[in-house]
Amino acid sequence: MYIESVYYIRKKDDSTATKTLEQIITQYPGSPLKEKAVTMIDVLKRRSSIENYLSALSVERAKEDSQIVVYDDATISKGVLPGITNNPQKPKDAVIIPGKAVIDPSKKLPPTVSNGTFSFNALTPQYVIMVLNKVDPVYISEARNAFVRYNREKFSSLGIEITKDTLDENRALLVFTQFETADAAINYRDKIKKDATSEISWLPVEKYSFYIISNANLDLLKQNGNLQNYIELLNKQYPGKF
């Protein structure tokens, strides 16, 4: 019903959209979408003034997505999250004193694991990806918009960016960039996976799943499309997590 109201809004049929939103408020008072419906109705009441204000500012809207476009092989290059300077520098007044290095045997770098196709290193920067299976492009765009708002409200300091991509004709991707380590990516992945049921409650949970992946593995995945093979590697590193 919420997506239907968005359709009518795009058609400039605000009265029908409002009626549909009011049905959500009346029929589903306990739904997380109730507050969104209330907000949307309020925005529709002020639509003319908002549009006039934007027109006066000569704001040019970005072209809306009508379909999922196959990835053009351009490499995604974003800042590393969360809040870590990419090129840390020592203070100018730091004094380096030569000495003997002390190795703590209890602190070892996690080994790189491989299954012959993919390789995984927990210290490599990772993306969080959302895989959507047989989902209409309109719903994918709405999901992206929902998570943009979600990040703005809960993770605004991280500057997370969301890019749409595809694996094949049935599977689309939302790529959340980028986290410094696998642990940082997993922490975010667990939070967004839990909150997705309310943020995109109109999309059945069996239609999507969340994983972490490095840039190199993402490029390889788009070439071979073998998601299950990659999931098996993740579960080898994090048993039962994915």
Please list the pLDDT of the chain residue by residue as tens digits (242 residues): 999 989 989 888 899 989 999 999 999 988 888 888 888 888 888 888 777 766 665 545 545 554 444 444 444 445 555 544 444 454 444 444 444 445 454 445 567 888 888 999 999 999 999 999 999 999 999 999 999 999 999 998 888 999 999 999 999 999 998 899 999 999 999 999 999 999 998 899 999 999 999 999 999 999 999 999 999 999 988 988 88
C-alpha span between 164 and 142 (Å, rounded)? 12
What CATH number does the domain containing 153 carry? 3.30.70.120
CA–CA dist 81, 73 (Å, integer): 23
User: 81 and 178 in contact (C-beta within 8 Å)?
Assistant: yes
Domain limits at 214? 115-237
Listed in sequence order, the DSSP H helices in the chain are 2-10, 14-27, 33-45, 47-56, 137-154, 182-199, 215-224, 227-237
Query: Phi and psi (nearest 5°) for 49?
Result: -65, -35
Contact 17, 5 (CB under 8 A): yes
Q: Which residues partner with 131 through β-bridges?
A: 173, 209
Tell whether 226 and 138 lie within a shared domain: yes
Calpha distance 102→26 (Å, rounded): 67
Query: Is 67 a domain residue?
Result: no
In a domain, 51, yes or no: yes
Instruction: Give the chain's domain count.
Output: 2
- Same domain membership, residue 131 and residue 223: yes
220 and 150 both lie in a single domain: yes
* Within-domain flag for 109: no
Q: What is the pTM of this model?
A: 0.57
Residue 242 lies in a domain: no
Residues 120 and 219 grouped into a single domain: yes
- Are 132 and 45 in the same domain? no
150 in a domain, yes or no? Answer: yes
